[in-house]
């Protein structure tokens, strides 16, 4: 930067090393904090709060009754194979519980997050999530896409409630109504309804509560970004979960309001409203949000410039991502010369 004294504006992320370098090399230049990184910092702090509120997340999930039946990928399943899948899932959970107990034991002995991660060969962020969760954090269920059977789930439940136990008959009835999926999918659905997790047959579909979601998924439900996507509208179960969580832990409602307002300020570019919002953020009951406010105040001129100026380092981040992608494609099989050719002269 010293070799280019004509630079007047520097767009950068939130790392302090970049700010110090600009102050030394170009003290007269205007620094602009990247808006994407500001939103990323907001997400990280809200997720830390949600990881700390693990028991409250589970309590809220237990209060949400899931409407309808959730199916995984359709494949040939019998009662025995369903039980085998459940045993495998239990074994994986037991291994993770054992890891969680080892982390908490080392933490109780005074070990640092970085030291525990090195000793157990796991990422320090996993250690941090375990320590701040307050209890063992359950994994979120794997998301699935829509299937041809989804519009007919209520019909299957109704036929089972009427006493029908023949998947072949139910499949033929659904086919007459326009169902185009496979017969195995219907059979697997009937098995799951009649024998949930290997229990005795039920004459009606069981009442199911929502599995505990991950902190990142809850953040998306709180902010409401998913409702902007046409392909995946906002789920009513998600909104009920958010309302239950805000009732159990009122600070989540306060954080939700602050996060949504910050997102709106970022779109409208309102520096004056940002100053008032920052004062509210500093008085938030959540320690994670107060730390976020401190980090913003430490870099306040660059943060304010992000609301006033159009500059961003998004294009640079895109090229860096492309460069890393090309490098990882050739990992262990090529040298810098080939990488230079692929970057400068793409085919």
Tell me the pLDDT tens digit for each residue of 143-159: 666 888 888 888 888 88
Q: Are strands 9-12 and 30-33 parallel, antiparallel or unpaired?
A: parallel
Q: Which of 146, 138, 139 is nearest to 73 (CA)?
A: 146
Contacts 24+ apart (CB under 8 A), 194-200: 194/160, 194/165, 195/79, 195/82, 197/82, 197/83, 197/86, 198/79, 198/82, 198/83, 198/86
Question: Of 25-29, 65-69, 163-167, where does the model show the most confidence?
Answer: 25-29
Tell me the mean pLDDT in the region 302-324: 86
User: What pLDDT, on the 0 to 100 scale, is given for residue 43?
Assistant: 93
* Secondary element (H or E) of residue 80: helix 79-108
Domain locations in the chain as residue ranges: 9-35+311-344, 39-62+212-301, 69-206
Q: How confident is the model at residue 52 (pLDDT cuts 50, 70, 90)?
A: very high
Q: Are 305 and 11 in contact (CB under 8 A)?
A: no
Place of tokens 């908490």: 104
């Amino acid at each position: 930067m010293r070799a280019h004294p004509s630079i007047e504006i520097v767009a950068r992320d939130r790392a302090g090393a970049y700010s110090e370098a600009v102050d030394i090399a170009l003290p007269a230049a205007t620094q602009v904090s990247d808006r994407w990184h500001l939103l990323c910092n907001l997400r990280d702090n809200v997720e830390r709060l949600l990881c700390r509120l693990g028991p409250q997340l589970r309590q809220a999930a237990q209060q949400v009754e899931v409407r309808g039946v959730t199916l995984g990928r359709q494949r040939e399943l019998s009662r025995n194979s369903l039980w085998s899948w459940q045993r495998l899932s239990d074994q994986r959970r037991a291994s993770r519980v054992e890891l969680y107990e080892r982390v908490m034991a080392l933490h109780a002995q005074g070990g640092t997050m970085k030291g525990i991660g090195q000793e157990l060969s796991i990422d320090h962020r996993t250690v941090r999530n375990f320590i701040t969760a307050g209890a063992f954090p359950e994994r979120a269920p794997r998301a699935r896409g829509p299937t041809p059977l989804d519009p007919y789930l209520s019909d299957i439940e109704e036929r089972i409630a009427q006493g029908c136990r023949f998947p072949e008959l139910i499949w033929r009835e659904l086919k007459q109504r326009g169902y185009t999926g496979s017969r195995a999918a219907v059979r697997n659905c009937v098995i799951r309804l009649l024998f949930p997790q290997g229990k005795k047959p039920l004459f009606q579909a069981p009442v199911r509560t929502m599995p505990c979601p991950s902190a990142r998924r809850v953040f998306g439900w709180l902010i409401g970004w998913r409702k902007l996507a046409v392909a995946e509208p906002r789920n009513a179960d998600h909104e009920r979960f958010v309302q239950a969580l805000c009732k159990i832990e009122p600070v989540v409602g306060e954080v939700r309001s602050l996060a949504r307002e910050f997102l709106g300020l970022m779109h409208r570019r309102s520096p004056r409203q940002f100053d008032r919002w920052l004062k509210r953020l500093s008085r938030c009951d959540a320690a994670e949000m107060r730390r976020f406010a401190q980090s913003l105040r430490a870099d306040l001129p660059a943060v304010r410039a992000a609301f006033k100026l159009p500059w961003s380092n998004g294009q640079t981040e895109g090229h860096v991502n492309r460069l890393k992608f090309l490098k990882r494609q050739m990992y262990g099989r090529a040298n810098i010369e080939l990488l230079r050719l692929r970057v400068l002269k793409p085919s």
